[in-house]
Amino acid sequence: MPGSERDRLLAQVHESYPAIAPDLLEPILRFMTVGRSITGGDTDKITILLVVAVRSTQHPDFATFTTEELKAGRVPVLPSLGINIRSIADSTGMPRESVRRKVSELVEAGWLVKHGNQIHYTATAYMQVEPARSALEDMAVRFHEVVRKLADKGS
C-alpha cells in the first residue's frame, strides 16, 4: 500500500477511534484471553511464542507450507530466521533469566526446540495454539472490516 494511502487510512482510524474502539479492542482481548488460557495464565509465554512464531513465519520456506501440512504436524520443526534467548529478551524487554526459564518450560512442553542457541517453533506448538491462531485470524478479519468501512466512507 503506497505511503500516502496508508497515511490517509491511519489518519481515518485515528480520527474515528472513539467510534471504532470496541471493534479494535474486543478481538485483542479475546486473543489475549485465549492465549493466557493456553499458556496456563502466563502472558510472558504468549509473548515468547509470538516472537519465535514471527521469526518462523518470516522464513521464506514457511510460506511454502499448506495449512493442512502444519495442522497435521507434517513439519515437526518450523524453519526460522534465527532467534535466541538474548534476542527475545532484547526485543521484549523481559529479563533474560525469565526468558531462559520460560523457554525451558516451553521446550519441556514440546512447543519449542533448541538447536544450539537457536530456538524453533514446533508442530506441537502450532497444533496446540490453534484457538489463539483462530482468534488472531478473527482479529485480522475484524480489523479489515473496520478499516474497509472507514475507507469506503472516505471515498
pTM above 0.85, yes or no: yes
Name the DSSP class of 63.
G
Q: What is the pLDDT confidence band of residue 155, given thresholds at 50, 70 and 90?
A: low
Contact 117, 153 (CB under 8 A): no
For the chain, how many residues are written?
155
Q: How far apart are CA 112 and CA 48, in angstroms?
A: 10
Domains by residue range for the chain, with CATH: 3-9+18-154 (1.10.10.10)
Q: Which of 11-20, 95-104, 145-154 has the lowest mean pLDDT?
A: 145-154
Q: What is the pLDDT confidence band of residue 2, given thresholds at 50, 70 and 90?
A: low
Cite the beta strand spans of 32-132 per DSSP E. 112-115, 118-121
pLDDT at 13 over 80: yes
What tens digit of pLDDT does each residue of 67-89 get? 999 999 999 999 999 899 999 99
pLDDT of residue 118: 96
Q: What is the pLDDT confidence band of residue 151, given thresholds at 50, 70 and 90?
A: confident
Say which residue the cell 520460560 belongs to: 102
User: b/e for 48-84, b at 16 or more Cβ within 10 A?
Assistant: bbbbbbebbeeeeebeeeeeeebeeeebeebbbeebb
- The continuous run of DSSP H or E covering 8 comes out as helix 3-38
What's the grid cell of residue 138? 478473527
Q: What is the pLDDT confidence band of residue 47, given thresholds at 50, 70 and 90?
A: very high
Compute CA distances 41 → 4, 36, 55, 111, 118, whole Å: 41, 5, 24, 16, 25
Closest by Cα among 150, 153, 151 to 17: 150
